[in-house]
Amino acid sequence: MQPIIRLDRVTKRFGHETALDDVSLEVPPGVVFALLGENGAGKTTAIRLMLGLTEPSAGSVEVLGLDSQTHGLEIRRQVGYVPERPTFYDWMTVSEVGWFTAGFYGDGYETRYRELATEFQLPLGRKIKALSKGMRAKVGLSLAMAHQPKLLVLDEPTSGLDTLVRREFLESMVELTAAGQSVLLSSHQISEVERVADIVAIIRGGRLLLVEPLDELKAAVRQLTVTLSDGAVAPPRLAGELLCERHHGRQWQMIVRSPSNDQDQRPDNEFELLRDDPSVRDLEIHTPSLEEIFVAYLKSASEPAEGVDYEHAEPSAVIEDASQ
């Protein structure tokens, strides 16, 4: 199937600053695609490029099969967009803002908007300025969904919302994809994204570090806690990619990605072999959260391990102490 979003070697510069650096990715239809990164990583710039609100310095962007540079207006008509801070005419009521926005869309928009507002338990007669931040966010989502877009783009949509409202907001994204629509979710609320995302992309300093289905990512990454035997100075080296490590005394904690491409070969089986090494006194293995994986990838990008090729290392080799 044709990707609903495609970025091909996209770079965006603002003067001497590079906001996006040679980014390529594809988003298939019918998924929740999470774009993860710290504030200033380039997430909002990527969204503005997709919507045709700015042009790339190099590369190309397609959304719904349309080039964002030449068909930006048509893309914005077809896409539902909820920015981090939606702007409304505060003197309007919840009902009136739907009536006003309906003028930009086809028949049926206002009816669907009122249905969504009722579903979100919004007071139709109350003025926007009297709404809580959570209710304003629901107004923005109702407006973005009322024309039944194939793609919904959310830029930090739950920022500042209380826990219950954030949960309701994100659960509605799952319902959308179940109906065949697609969601691009840009966020730094990693623990909540983990509940709804099908595919995750991690971006740091404008560079794309990872694009992968979430279930495959979590199946491949493990956190190991290794307690060394007396006299041992470092744990055995592992085949695979060491994302980050730290140690205190004889206890080492590592987040490692398995080198195996076999979906049936779980990394637990590979790492269990460490128990037979004489330098290992105790070993604990667990699957890290998406937030822990996210932090590990950021650390890996900023402070790569030196002197060790973890991707091609032999299991019998030895991890070098990165603090040396």
**Paired residues of 54 in beta bridges:** none
- Span 192-248, pLDDT tens digits: 788 889 999 999 999 999 999 999 999 999 999 988 888 888 888 777 788 988 888
Q: Which of 153, 8, 10 is nearest to 76 (CA)?
A: 153
- pLDDT value at position 265? 58
Proportion of the chain in helix, strand, coil states, percent, rounded to 5: 30, 30, 40
Task: Quote the crossing angle between the two packed helices 109-119 and 133-145, to the nearest 10°.
Answer: 140
What is the distance between the alpha carbons of residues 208 and 41, in angstroms, rounded to a whole number?
10
pLDDT tens for each residue of the chain, 324 residues long: 789 999 999 999 999 999 999 999 999 999 999 999 888 889 999 999 999 999 999 999 999 999 999 999 999 999 999 887 788 999 999 999 999 999 988 889 999 999 999 988 899 999 999 998 888 888 998 999 899 899 999 888 766 667 777 777 777 777 777 677 899 998 877 887 888 899 999 999 999 999 999 999 999 999 999 888 888 888 887 777 889 888 888 888 989 998 765 555 566 777 887 888 888 889 898 999 999 999 999 988 775 443 333 233 333 333 333 333
Confidence (pLDDT) at 263: 53
- Alpha-carbon distance of 132 to 66, in angstroms, equals 37
Which CATH fold would you assign to the domain 5-205? Rossmann fold (3.40.50)
With tokens 């004889």, the residue in question is: 250
pLDDT for the residue numbered 260: 65
pLDDT score, position 165: 72
Residue 280: in which H helix or E strand, if any? strand 280-286
Residue type, 188: H
Strand 17-27: give its sheet, edge to edge: 17-27, 5-14, 58-63, 66-67
Q: What is the pLDDT of residue 311?
A: 31
pLDDT of residue 18: 93
Separation CA 71–CA 130 (nearest Å): 37
Spell out where 29-174 has E strands.
32-36, 58-63, 66-67, 79-82, 151-155
What kind of fold does domain 220-302 have according to CATH?
Answer: Alpha-Beta Plaits (3.30.70)
- Residue in the block written with tokens 């070697």: 9
What integer pLDDT is reported at residue 174 of this predicted model? 75
The owner of tokens 């719904």 is 64
The answer for 55, left when phi > 0, alpha when psi is -120 to 50, beta otherwise, is beta
Helix axes 133-145, 163-178, angle to 10 degrees: 10
Q: Which residue has the tokens 């890996």?
A: 300
Measured between alpha carbons, how far is residue 284 from residues 62, 256, 280 in Å? 45, 13, 11
Query: Do 1 and 31 meet the contact criterion of CB atoms below 8 Å apart?
Result: no
* Measured distance CA(274)–CA(205) in Å, rounded: 36
**DSSP conformation class of 318:** B
Domain boundaries, the chain: 5-205, 220-302
